[in-house]
A and B are shown apart, each in its own frame.
Chain A
Amino acid sequence: MLQGGGVPLSWYLILSAILFSLGIAGFLLRKNIITVFMSIELMLNAVNLSFVTFSYKFQQVNGHIFAFFVMVVAAAEAAVGLAIILTVYKNRNSLDIDDVSEMKN
């Protein structure tokens, strides 16, 4: 399986799947709102790796453009999300997502 040099393309994709699953796990299991937010960033990074890998496979630059747009959206999302976290902390003095449960009932 390893003759011929180089790395199998599927290994990159499986690494991306591992990182995406870890991101979902962090999103579901953690209670700190900042860690939940960082798990979303981890998932976005995993998707970016998939985009760049497919760009290599099809020998086109389009995947890089999509990865670039994902980065732009992630930067905007981080700015707004962290502002929301600041507001939540200002109002309740806590970063536990279980304390923010008005919409539950």
Chain B
Amino acid sequence: MDLFFFVVFAVFAVGCGISVVVQTHPISSALSLVGVMGSLAVLYLLLGAEFIAMAQVIVYAGAVMVLFIFVIMLLNSGGETHPGRSMTVKLLGVPALSGLFIVIAYIFATNFRDSARVHFGSFTEGTARSIGRAIFGTYLLPFEFTSILILVAILGAVVLARKELD
């Protein structure tokens, strides 16, 4: 059953990921990206990360993607008029990228071949309780710094997006 859910949502994630890259219209890419994020949330649940799965749905698929779609509709941007990069990128970039992927996949496949298999329910530390203990204990200082980061981001967004004063 684990395998079934993994295969279904992994295939869905990869299909939507290809769609993000291939679609020429940004709104199609954005909706495909929502599909990737939703299926990744299911995979997080299979890995026992229930808090991260919920945060993925709320923060990423909810807030961030709504912001993206809002900006796409605000700018009313159409598809790309003259898509495609130069020949150098096409001739060198795709083989180099495939090489990078093969190297990463080889490292993962050889180094983690003998590790334990993933069973749903065998890792129960991903609850909000244990995450809260870690965040407000060991990682309290980084957590407080993220509040400063978000404050700076809010100020930056306001300053950048306001109307010109002149």
Bitwise, B74-105 to A at CB < 8 A (1) or not (0) is 11010011111100010001100110110011
Closest to B14 in A: A18
Other-chain contact of B56, A2, A11, A71 (Cβ < 8 Å): A71
Chain A: interface residue total (CB-CB under 8 A):
71
Q: Is the beta-carbon distance between B161 and A56 smaller than 8 angstroms?
A: no
Q: Which residues from A are CB-within-8-Å of B112?
A: 8-10, 13, 57
Q: Is the beta-carbon distance between A12 and B14 smaller than 8 angstroms?
A: no
Q: Which residues from B are CB-within-8-Å of A37?
A: 68
Q: Is the beta-carbon distance between A19 and B17 smaller than 8 angstroms?
A: yes
Is A103 an interface residue, CB under 8 A from the partner?
no
Q: Contact residue range for chain B?
A: 35 or more
> Given A32-B80, A55-B49, A71-B55, are A7 and B118 also a contact pair (CB < 8 Å)?
yes
How distant is the Cα of A41 from the Cα of B30 in the complex, in angstroms?
10
Other-chain contact of B89, A10, A15, A29 (Cβ < 8 Å): A29
Q: Which residues from A are CB-within-8-Å of B115?
A: 9-10, 57
> Given A32-B26, A39-B21, are A45 and B36 also a contact pair (CB < 8 Å)?
yes
Bitwise, A28-45 to B at CB < 8 A (1) or not (0) is 111110110111011001
Other-chain contact of A34, B72, B101, B105, B158 (Cβ < 8 Å): B72
How distant is the Cα of A4 from the Cα of B152 in the complex, in angstroms?
50
Q: Is the beta-carbon distance between A7 and B6 smaller than 8 angstroms?
A: yes
Q: Is the beta-carbon distance between A19 and B64 smaller than 8 angstroms?
A: no
Return B130 CB to nearest CB of chain A, in Å: 5
26 A-B contacts (beta carbon < 8 Å)? A7-B2, A7-B3, A8-B113, A9-B116, A12-B43, A12-B47, A14-B105, A15-B43, A21-B104, A22-B14, A23-B17, A24-B100, A28-B93, A31-B80, A34-B75, A45-B37, A56-B123, A64-B125, A64-B134, A65-B135, A71-B55, A78-B68, A79-B67, A83-B157, A86-B161, A87-B160
